[in-house]
Amino acid sequence: MLTVSSNSPVSIEECCAEYLLYIKSVRGLSENTVKGYGEDFKHLMQILTPQKPLKDLTLEDLRGCVGSLSRRKYGTVSINRFIAAVRGLFAYCKKFGYIKSNVSLELKTLKAPKHLPRFMTATEVDALCIEPEKEPLLWQSRDRALFEMLYSSGCRVGELANLKFGDFSPDFKTAVVTGKGKKDRRVYFEKDAVSSLLAYLAERKSRFPEREKNGGNPVEEVFLNQKGTPLSEHGIWYIVSRYSGVEGTNRHVSPHAFRHTFATAMLAAGADIRAVQEMLGHSSISTTQRYTHVTTERLKEVYKQAFPHSGKQD
């Protein structure tokens, strides 16, 4: 017979709160992931009664939650994330003996439409990288360095925002970043990225001399905003949005497009998919394989445009 101590979580609300603490402090999931799961659990408690014991939930209850989200016009990705959050919650509670059985295992995910990652062509990424020098919208040297380093390394936005001086090799050609699940990996920067970074660091030193006394770097984060404090992920999104918007290249992209472009370019050039997986910090090879589909579709498009019997008129 299942025994639960008086201090053990029982209600949906209590179980959700403990699980969120677990994935943040023990599993080390990112702040955004924990926040997303929290939003999913809010839906669970809005649809059901927060004080209801989790052990009393049935498969029909969970299916009713999914149906409610669907009626509210939630997309497939959002609903599947909700299902993943609920499955994680139930697996946790089963592991620690809070429930006898895991009814969430029979909850079916929705078939998601396949969306190929959005990437830039070589011409487009080159144009965006030099845009800060053509259109001085914000901080030219910093923004050029940001773009070159995003493209050169395939870093996630958060990884670049959190990059510190101590993470670099002495020549700035490599750095160790902390990715999802607090996993460290080494990333690489080619000569244009290093050159742009050094130009930015020289200007950073002249802009904020009080922060650079005696050759030190009191602000350890490499990228600063114009007030001299660490640049946030939101700040990087804003910078990319400005330069890729109507004031710049007029082809709006997100910072993640640099990562997609890096992966696509590496695979198109013949890089081993396992090596690309390592450089991107993907835990699963299937995530990296999405980019092989991108290169295949790109090749099809090139073939249709170039082959003389493609139906194009002379």
Q: Which residues are catalytic?
A: 156, 180, 256, 259, 282, 291
Dist. CA 104–CA 58, nearest whole Å = 8
- Coil, helix or strand for 246? coil
- Chain position carrying tokens 């870093």: 155
- Tokens coding 287: 């995530």
How many Cβ atoms sit within 10 Å of the Cβ of residue 162? 19
Backbone angles phi, psi at 174, to 5 degrees: -140, 165
Residues 6 or more apart from 173 whose CB is under 8 A from it? 188, 189, 194
How many Cβ atoms sit within 10 Å of the Cβ of residue 259? 22
How many Cβ atoms sit within 10 Å of the Cβ of residue 205? 13
Dist. CA 77–CA 98, nearest whole Å = 29
Residue (of 182, 166, 145) closest to 220 by Cα position: 166
| C-alpha to C-alpha distances, 139 to 164, 225, 227, nearest whole angstrom | 19, 9, 11
